[in-house]
Amino acid sequence: MLFLCKPQRGKRDDFYFGNNGGLAVRVSQMIVDGKSYPIASTLDRVSFAPNDSALDSLLLHNNNGIIAMDNNQQVSGKMMNVTLTLTPVLNDNQFTHATDTVMLESNLQWEVLTK
């Protein structure tokens, strides 16, 4: 099972947030069918081959997917849960013309792929 994020891209190929800010997306606590697993990222939409070693938590990059790993093997299952922590990365000029209310938005689209 592959969980993939397809956001609007920012200047540095990161997640776009507001006028010209970014959004850090951290994934942690991957649970598949009730069991916790380390997380690996992947760009491979066909065989889901991991880019690197699996970790308990990782920073998700644009167009990367995440997969659960167990002893260097991909985990398959019917139900997957993951915790996403979204942290805005704002720059000073986003506050220059700020009023009492400023709306900053991001557009994140998620896709789940299975083999």
Q: Are 108 and 4 in contact (CB under 8 A)?
A: no
**Dist CA 68 CA 38 (whole Å):** 6
Residue keyed to tokens 């850090």: 24
- Residue of 70, 1, 76 whose CA lies nearest to 37: 70
Q: What is the pLDDT of residue 83?
A: 95
Question: Each residue of 39-68: pLDDT tens digit?
Answer: 999 999 899 999 999 999 999 887 889 999
Q: Is 93 helix (H, G, I), strand (E, B) or coil?
A: helix
- pLDDT band, very low/low/confident/very high, at 85 (cuts 50, 70, 90): very high
